[in-house]
Amino acid sequence: MLHVTARAAAAAVCAGLLMGVVACQRSAGDETAPMLTEDHGLLVVPAGSPLRQQLVVQPVGAGDTARQLQLPAVVEADPADVTNILAPLTGRVTALKVRLGDRVRRGQLLAVIASGDLAQASSDAEKAQDAYNLAAKALIRARGVQQAGGSAAKDLEAAESAEVQAKSELDRTRTRLASLTGASSAQGGTLALKSPQDGVVTALSISPGAMVNDATATLMTVANISHVFVAANVGEGDIGLIPRGAAAEVTLAAYPGQPIHGRVSEIDALVQPDTRRQKVRIELENPGERLLPNMYATATFTLRASAGAGVFVPQSALVMNNDAISVMVEVRPWVFQRRLVQLGDETDTAARVLSGLQPGDRVVVKGGVLLND
Protein backbone atom coordinates (compact mmCIF):
# COMPACT_ATOMS: atom_id res chain seq x y z
CA MET A 1 0.00 0.00 0.00
CA LEU A 2 1.23 3.50 -0.78
CA HIS A 3 2.35 5.52 2.20
CA VAL A 4 -0.52 7.59 3.56
CA THR A 5 1.70 10.64 4.03
CA ALA A 6 2.83 10.60 0.39
CA ARG A 7 -0.73 10.19 -0.85
CA ALA A 8 -1.98 13.05 1.33
CA ALA A 9 0.81 15.37 0.17
CA ALA A 10 0.09 14.60 -3.48
CA ALA A 11 -3.62 15.21 -2.94
CA ALA A 12 -2.94 18.58 -1.29
CA VAL A 13 -0.76 19.76 -4.17
CA CYS A 14 -3.33 18.60 -6.72
CA ALA A 15 -6.15 20.30 -4.83
CA GLY A 16 -4.25 23.60 -4.70
CA LEU A 17 -3.63 23.61 -8.44
CA LEU A 18 -7.20 22.67 -9.31
CA MET A 19 -8.69 25.24 -6.93
CA GLY A 20 -6.55 27.89 -8.61
CA VAL A 21 -7.90 26.89 -12.02
CA VAL A 22 -11.47 26.92 -10.70
CA ALA A 23 -11.01 30.35 -9.13
CA CYS A 24 -9.77 31.77 -12.44
CA GLN A 25 -12.73 30.30 -14.29
CA ARG A 26 -15.21 31.72 -11.75
CA SER A 27 -13.81 35.19 -12.09
CA ALA A 28 -14.21 34.99 -15.88
CA GLY A 29 -17.68 33.36 -15.82
CA ASP A 30 -20.84 33.46 -13.79
CA GLU A 31 -19.73 34.50 -10.29
CA THR A 32 -23.14 33.71 -8.81
CA ALA A 33 -23.07 29.99 -9.75
CA PRO A 34 -22.23 27.90 -6.64
CA MET A 35 -19.35 25.44 -6.84
CA LEU A 36 -21.41 22.68 -5.19
CA THR A 37 -24.17 22.20 -2.64
CA GLU A 38 -24.78 19.56 0.01
CA ASP A 39 -28.12 17.80 0.36
CA HIS A 40 -28.45 15.25 3.20
CA GLY A 41 -24.87 14.06 2.80
CA LEU A 42 -24.91 14.15 -1.00
CA LEU A 43 -22.68 16.57 -2.90
CA VAL A 44 -24.47 18.22 -5.83
CA VAL A 45 -22.57 19.98 -8.60
CA PRO A 46 -25.17 22.34 -10.14
CA ALA A 47 -25.34 23.40 -13.75
CA GLY A 48 -22.92 26.20 -14.45
CA SER A 49 -20.51 25.15 -11.71
CA PRO A 50 -16.89 25.31 -12.87
CA LEU A 51 -16.35 21.95 -11.13
CA ARG A 52 -18.12 20.25 -14.01
CA GLN A 53 -15.13 21.11 -16.18
CA GLN A 54 -12.69 19.61 -13.66
CA LEU A 55 -14.32 16.30 -12.74
CA VAL A 56 -13.78 13.08 -14.69
CA VAL A 57 -16.10 10.19 -13.87
CA GLN A 58 -15.60 6.57 -14.94
CA PRO A 59 -17.21 3.22 -14.07
CA VAL A 60 -15.12 0.68 -12.18
CA GLY A 61 -15.05 -3.03 -12.88
CA ALA A 62 -13.97 -6.32 -11.42
CA GLY A 63 -11.17 -8.38 -12.89
CA ASP A 64 -7.56 -9.30 -12.50
CA THR A 65 -4.78 -6.85 -11.94
CA ALA A 66 -1.13 -7.75 -11.81
CA ARG A 67 1.81 -6.40 -9.89
CA GLN A 68 5.40 -7.43 -9.79
CA LEU A 69 7.22 -8.46 -6.64
CA GLN A 70 11.02 -8.35 -6.69
CA LEU A 71 12.84 -10.28 -3.99
CA PRO A 72 16.51 -10.76 -3.09
CA ALA A 73 17.71 -14.28 -3.79
CA VAL A 74 20.81 -16.46 -3.79
CA VAL A 75 21.89 -19.51 -5.78
CA GLU A 76 21.97 -22.75 -3.77
CA ALA A 77 22.98 -26.30 -4.58
CA ASP A 78 20.24 -28.90 -4.31
CA PRO A 79 20.65 -30.40 -0.79
CA ALA A 80 19.78 -33.82 -2.23
CA ASP A 81 22.88 -33.57 -4.45
CA VAL A 82 25.34 -32.38 -1.79
CA THR A 83 27.48 -35.13 -0.20
CA ASN A 84 29.75 -34.69 2.79
CA ILE A 85 32.75 -37.02 2.60
CA LEU A 86 33.70 -38.52 5.97
CA ALA A 87 36.25 -41.10 7.05
CA PRO A 88 34.51 -43.37 9.61
CA LEU A 89 37.81 -44.12 11.32
CA THR A 90 40.98 -42.43 12.47
CA GLY A 91 44.21 -42.32 10.52
CA ARG A 92 46.68 -40.19 8.56
CA VAL A 93 46.09 -38.64 5.13
CA THR A 94 48.83 -40.06 2.94
CA ALA A 95 47.61 -38.55 -0.34
CA LEU A 96 45.14 -35.85 -1.40
CA LYS A 97 44.08 -36.09 -5.04
CA VAL A 98 41.78 -33.05 -5.38
CA ARG A 99 41.74 -29.34 -4.63
CA LEU A 100 39.00 -26.94 -3.68
CA GLY A 101 36.85 -26.16 -6.72
CA ASP A 102 37.90 -29.24 -8.71
CA ARG A 103 35.26 -31.02 -10.75
CA VAL A 104 35.17 -34.74 -10.03
CA ARG A 105 33.46 -37.81 -11.46
CA ARG A 106 31.67 -40.63 -9.69
CA GLY A 107 34.24 -43.19 -8.45
CA GLN A 108 37.18 -40.78 -8.79
CA LEU A 109 39.88 -41.10 -6.12
CA LEU A 110 39.75 -38.20 -3.66
CA ALA A 111 42.20 -39.09 -0.88
CA VAL A 112 44.11 -41.99 0.67
CA ILE A 113 44.15 -42.59 4.45
CA ALA A 114 46.36 -45.03 6.36
CA SER A 115 44.46 -46.32 9.39
CA GLY A 116 45.27 -48.77 12.16
CA ASP A 117 41.54 -49.16 12.81
CA LEU A 118 41.00 -50.27 9.22
CA ALA A 119 43.93 -52.67 9.43
CA GLN A 120 42.40 -54.23 12.54
CA ALA A 121 38.98 -54.54 10.86
CA SER A 122 40.54 -56.16 7.78
CA SER A 123 42.50 -58.57 9.97
CA ASP A 124 39.36 -59.52 11.91
CA ALA A 125 37.53 -60.24 8.66
CA GLU A 126 40.37 -62.43 7.38
CA LYS A 127 40.50 -64.37 10.66
CA ALA A 128 36.74 -64.85 10.62
CA GLN A 129 36.90 -66.12 7.03
CA ASP A 130 39.60 -68.63 7.95
CA ALA A 131 37.66 -69.81 11.02
CA TYR A 132 34.52 -70.28 8.96
CA ASN A 133 36.40 -72.26 6.30
CA LEU A 134 37.77 -74.56 9.02
CA ALA A 135 34.35 -75.01 10.65
CA ALA A 136 32.72 -75.74 7.29
CA LYS A 137 35.28 -78.46 6.52
CA ALA A 138 34.85 -79.98 10.00
CA LEU A 139 31.10 -80.12 9.46
CA ILE A 140 31.53 -81.94 6.16
CA ARG A 141 33.82 -84.52 7.81
CA ALA A 142 31.42 -85.01 10.73
CA ARG A 143 28.53 -85.70 8.37
CA GLY A 144 30.62 -88.22 6.42
CA VAL A 145 31.69 -90.03 9.58
CA GLN A 146 28.15 -90.21 10.89
CA GLN A 147 26.84 -91.56 7.59
CA ALA A 148 29.50 -94.28 7.89
CA GLY A 149 28.28 -95.04 11.44
CA GLY A 150 31.53 -94.03 13.09
CA SER A 151 30.44 -91.11 15.34
CA ALA A 152 27.69 -90.16 17.73
CA ALA A 153 24.96 -87.65 16.91
CA LYS A 154 26.36 -85.21 19.45
CA ASP A 155 29.59 -84.87 17.46
CA LEU A 156 27.63 -83.82 14.38
CA GLU A 157 25.59 -81.35 16.43
CA ALA A 158 28.78 -79.80 17.83
CA ALA A 159 30.20 -79.42 14.31
CA GLU A 160 26.98 -77.80 13.07
CA SER A 161 26.99 -75.34 15.99
CA ALA A 162 30.62 -74.41 15.38
CA GLU A 163 29.86 -73.75 11.71
CA VAL A 164 26.89 -71.50 12.56
CA GLN A 165 28.94 -69.46 15.06
CA ALA A 166 31.82 -69.10 12.60
CA LYS A 167 29.40 -67.91 9.89
CA SER A 168 27.87 -65.35 12.27
CA GLU A 169 31.28 -63.96 13.18
CA LEU A 170 32.25 -63.76 9.51
CA ASP A 171 29.08 -61.80 8.71
CA ARG A 172 29.76 -59.40 11.61
CA THR A 173 33.33 -58.63 10.58
CA ARG A 174 32.37 -58.22 6.92
CA THR A 175 29.56 -55.81 7.85
CA ARG A 176 31.88 -53.74 10.00
CA LEU A 177 34.53 -53.61 7.27
CA ALA A 178 31.90 -52.58 4.71
CA SER A 179 30.60 -49.83 7.02
CA LEU A 180 34.13 -48.44 7.35
CA THR A 181 34.90 -48.43 3.64
CA GLY A 182 31.45 -47.57 2.24
CA ALA A 183 31.72 -46.61 -1.43
CA SER A 184 35.51 -46.43 -1.07
CA SER A 185 37.98 -49.27 -1.44
CA ALA A 186 40.36 -50.70 1.14
CA GLN A 187 43.49 -52.77 1.07
CA GLY A 188 44.95 -53.80 4.38
CA GLY A 189 45.17 -50.64 6.46
CA THR A 190 44.82 -48.20 3.54
CA LEU A 191 41.49 -46.56 2.75
CA ALA A 192 40.93 -45.00 -0.69
CA LEU A 193 38.16 -42.35 -0.49
CA LYS A 194 36.22 -42.12 -3.76
CA SER A 195 33.61 -39.66 -4.95
CA PRO A 196 30.03 -41.00 -4.70
CA GLN A 197 28.79 -38.69 -7.50
CA ASP A 198 29.73 -36.23 -10.20
CA GLY A 199 30.17 -32.72 -8.87
CA VAL A 200 32.41 -29.96 -7.60
CA VAL A 201 34.54 -29.94 -4.45
CA THR A 202 32.92 -27.04 -2.57
CA ALA A 203 34.61 -27.54 0.81
CA LEU A 204 37.95 -29.06 1.83
CA SER A 205 39.32 -29.40 5.34
CA ILE A 206 42.24 -31.85 5.06
CA SER A 207 45.78 -31.78 3.66
CA PRO A 208 48.44 -34.43 3.02
CA GLY A 209 49.93 -35.64 6.29
CA ALA A 210 47.02 -34.42 8.40
CA MET A 211 45.65 -36.66 11.15
CA VAL A 212 41.97 -37.60 11.06
CA ASN A 213 40.95 -37.93 14.69
CA ASP A 214 37.17 -37.38 14.48
CA ALA A 215 35.21 -39.96 12.53
CA THR A 216 32.22 -37.56 12.38
CA ALA A 217 34.14 -34.62 10.88
CA THR A 218 33.55 -33.69 7.21
CA LEU A 219 36.76 -33.98 5.23
CA MET A 220 35.35 -32.46 2.03
CA THR A 221 32.04 -31.74 0.30
CA VAL A 222 31.10 -32.70 -3.26
CA ALA A 223 28.09 -30.89 -4.75
CA ASN A 224 26.41 -31.72 -8.05
CA ILE A 225 25.40 -28.37 -9.60
CA SER A 226 24.05 -29.62 -12.93
CA HIS A 227 20.84 -28.13 -11.61
CA VAL A 228 20.51 -25.58 -8.80
CA PHE A 229 17.96 -23.71 -6.72
CA VAL A 230 17.52 -19.95 -6.60
CA ALA A 231 16.20 -19.27 -3.10
CA ALA A 232 14.18 -16.05 -2.77
CA ASN A 233 13.31 -14.51 0.59
CA VAL A 234 9.64 -13.55 0.96
CA GLY A 235 8.73 -10.99 3.63
CA GLU A 236 6.02 -11.87 6.14
CA GLY A 237 3.60 -9.41 4.53
CA ASP A 238 3.80 -11.25 1.19
CA ILE A 239 3.68 -14.84 2.46
CA GLY A 240 1.05 -16.84 0.60
CA LEU A 241 1.09 -14.67 -2.52
CA ILE A 242 3.54 -16.94 -4.37
CA PRO A 243 2.15 -20.46 -4.91
CA ARG A 244 4.08 -23.55 -5.90
CA GLY A 245 4.47 -23.56 -9.68
CA ALA A 246 4.41 -19.74 -9.96
CA ALA A 247 6.47 -18.35 -12.83
CA ALA A 248 9.57 -16.36 -11.94
CA GLU A 249 12.25 -14.37 -13.73
CA VAL A 250 15.74 -14.59 -12.26
CA THR A 251 18.48 -12.05 -12.93
CA LEU A 252 22.00 -12.42 -11.57
CA ALA A 253 24.61 -9.80 -10.79
CA ALA A 254 27.15 -11.99 -12.60
CA TYR A 255 25.12 -12.01 -15.84
CA PRO A 256 23.28 -8.68 -16.20
CA GLY A 257 20.77 -8.48 -19.02
CA GLN A 258 20.44 -12.28 -19.21
CA PRO A 259 17.22 -13.18 -17.39
CA ILE A 260 16.47 -16.83 -16.67
CA HIS A 261 12.90 -18.11 -16.46
CA GLY A 262 11.76 -20.82 -14.08
CA ARG A 263 9.01 -21.87 -11.70
CA VAL A 264 8.72 -22.19 -7.93
CA SER A 265 9.37 -25.82 -7.01
CA GLU A 266 9.62 -25.67 -3.20
CA ILE A 267 8.24 -23.43 -0.46
CA ASP A 268 9.51 -23.61 3.12
CA ALA A 269 6.89 -24.40 5.75
CA LEU A 270 8.54 -22.02 8.23
CA VAL A 271 9.84 -18.47 8.56
CA GLN A 272 13.58 -18.06 9.06
CA PRO A 273 14.08 -16.94 12.69
CA ASP A 274 16.93 -14.54 11.88
CA THR A 275 15.52 -12.79 8.81
CA ARG A 276 11.76 -13.25 9.47
CA ARG A 277 11.38 -14.30 5.85
CA GLN A 278 10.11 -17.41 4.10
CA LYS A 279 12.21 -19.11 1.45
CA VAL A 280 10.78 -20.09 -1.91
CA ARG A 281 13.00 -22.03 -4.28
CA ILE A 282 13.10 -21.90 -8.06
CA GLU A 283 14.69 -24.96 -9.65
CA LEU A 284 16.86 -24.22 -12.68
CA GLU A 285 18.86 -26.39 -15.02
CA ASN A 286 22.51 -25.33 -15.05
CA PRO A 287 24.15 -26.25 -18.36
CA GLY A 288 27.83 -25.43 -18.30
CA GLU A 289 27.54 -24.90 -14.52
CA ARG A 290 27.48 -21.12 -14.95
CA LEU A 291 25.29 -20.67 -11.88
CA LEU A 292 27.47 -21.14 -8.82
CA PRO A 293 26.30 -21.57 -5.22
CA ASN A 294 26.14 -18.30 -3.24
CA MET A 295 25.76 -16.07 -6.32
CA TYR A 296 23.47 -13.11 -5.65
CA ALA A 297 20.28 -12.90 -7.69
CA THR A 298 16.96 -11.08 -7.94
CA ALA A 299 13.74 -13.04 -8.42
CA THR A 300 10.74 -11.27 -9.96
CA PHE A 301 7.25 -12.70 -9.58
CA THR A 302 4.05 -11.46 -11.23
CA LEU A 303 1.23 -11.50 -8.68
CA ARG A 304 -2.31 -11.59 -9.99
CA ALA A 305 -5.35 -10.95 -7.82
CA SER A 306 -8.21 -13.43 -8.01
CA ALA A 307 -11.03 -12.58 -10.38
CA GLY A 308 -14.06 -11.16 -8.63
CA ALA A 309 -12.14 -10.28 -5.47
CA GLY A 310 -12.98 -6.59 -5.25
CA VAL A 311 -12.89 -3.90 -7.93
CA PHE A 312 -10.03 -1.81 -9.24
CA VAL A 313 -9.75 1.96 -9.30
CA PRO A 314 -6.99 4.34 -10.40
CA GLN A 315 -4.84 5.78 -7.66
CA SER A 316 -6.16 9.21 -8.68
CA ALA A 317 -9.64 8.20 -7.48
CA LEU A 318 -8.51 7.74 -3.87
CA VAL A 319 -9.15 10.63 -1.48
CA MET A 320 -7.68 11.01 2.00
CA ASN A 321 -10.00 11.76 4.93
CA ASN A 322 -7.83 12.01 8.03
CA ASP A 323 -6.67 8.40 8.46
CA ALA A 324 -9.35 6.95 6.18
CA ILE A 325 -9.46 6.55 2.41
CA SER A 326 -12.58 7.23 0.37
CA VAL A 327 -13.80 7.64 -3.20
CA MET A 328 -16.46 9.92 -4.66
CA VAL A 329 -19.29 7.87 -6.21
CA GLU A 330 -21.76 9.37 -8.65
CA VAL A 331 -25.22 8.18 -7.49
CA ARG A 332 -27.10 10.36 -9.99
CA PRO A 333 -25.86 12.68 -12.74
CA TRP A 334 -23.63 15.26 -10.99
CA VAL A 335 -24.68 14.04 -7.55
CA PHE A 336 -21.90 12.39 -5.55
CA GLN A 337 -21.56 10.41 -2.34
CA ARG A 338 -18.38 9.92 -0.32
CA ARG A 339 -17.71 6.23 0.45
CA LEU A 340 -15.03 4.84 2.70
CA VAL A 341 -13.12 1.95 1.10
CA GLN A 342 -10.78 -0.78 2.24
CA LEU A 343 -7.83 -1.42 -0.05
CA GLY A 344 -6.04 -4.63 -0.98
CA ASP A 345 -3.19 -5.00 -3.48
CA GLU A 346 -1.84 -1.82 -5.03
CA THR A 347 0.40 -0.83 -7.90
CA ASP A 348 1.76 2.59 -8.79
CA THR A 349 -1.31 3.28 -10.92
CA ALA A 350 -4.20 1.24 -9.48
CA ALA A 351 -5.59 -0.21 -6.27
CA ARG A 352 -7.90 -3.10 -5.50
CA VAL A 353 -10.90 -2.08 -3.37
CA LEU A 354 -12.03 -4.91 -1.10
CA SER A 355 -15.13 -3.18 0.27
CA GLY A 356 -17.13 -0.01 -0.38
CA LEU A 357 -17.58 -0.35 -4.15
CA GLN A 358 -19.39 -2.65 -6.56
CA PRO A 359 -18.59 -3.37 -10.21
CA GLY A 360 -20.25 -0.74 -12.37
CA ASP A 361 -20.16 2.07 -9.78
CA ARG A 362 -19.19 5.39 -11.34
CA VAL A 363 -16.42 7.13 -9.43
CA VAL A 364 -14.55 10.40 -9.79
CA VAL A 365 -11.12 9.51 -11.13
CA LYS A 366 -9.92 13.10 -11.51
CA GLY A 367 -10.73 16.13 -9.37
CA GLY A 368 -12.11 14.22 -6.41
CA VAL A 369 -10.03 16.33 -4.04
CA LEU A 370 -12.17 19.35 -5.03
CA LEU A 371 -15.31 17.60 -3.80
CA ASN A 372 -13.49 16.53 -0.69
CA ASP A 373 -12.60 20.12 0.17
Q: What is the C-alpha to C-alpha distance for residues 268 and 185, in angstroms, rounded to an integer? A: 39
Q: Given this model, what pLDDT does residue 29 score?
A: 47
Q: Give kind and range of the element (H or E) at residue 146.
A: helix 116-147
Q: Given this model, what pLDDT does residue 182 score?
A: 65
Q: What is the C-alpha to C-alpha distance for residues 346 and 66, in angstroms, rounded to an integer? A: 9
Q: Given this model, what pLDDT does residue 122 score?
A: 81
The CATH architecture assigned to 116-188 reads Orthogonal Bundle (1.10)
Do the beta carbons of residue 256 and residue 288 sit within 8 Å? Answer: no
Of the candidates 263, 355, 367, 373, the one whose C-alpha atom is nearest the C-alpha of residue 55 is: 367
Q: Given this model, what pLDDT does residue 337 score?
A: 94
Q: What is the C-alpha to C-alpha distance for residues 213 and 64, in angstroms, rounded to an integer? A: 63
Q: Give kind and range of the element (H or E) at residue 348.
A: none
Domain ranges, ordered by start, for the chain: 4-65+308-372, 116-188
Mean pLDDT, each 10-residue run in order, the chain (373 residues): 48 48 46 78 90 92 69 93 88 93 93 84 87 91 82 82 92 83 67 90 93 89 94 87 91 92 93 91 92 93 64 90 90 94 80 87 92 77
Q: What is the C-alpha to C-alpha distance for residues 141 and 138, in angstroms, rounded to an integer? A: 5
Q: Indicate the CATH number for domain 4-65+308-372.
A: 2.40.420.20
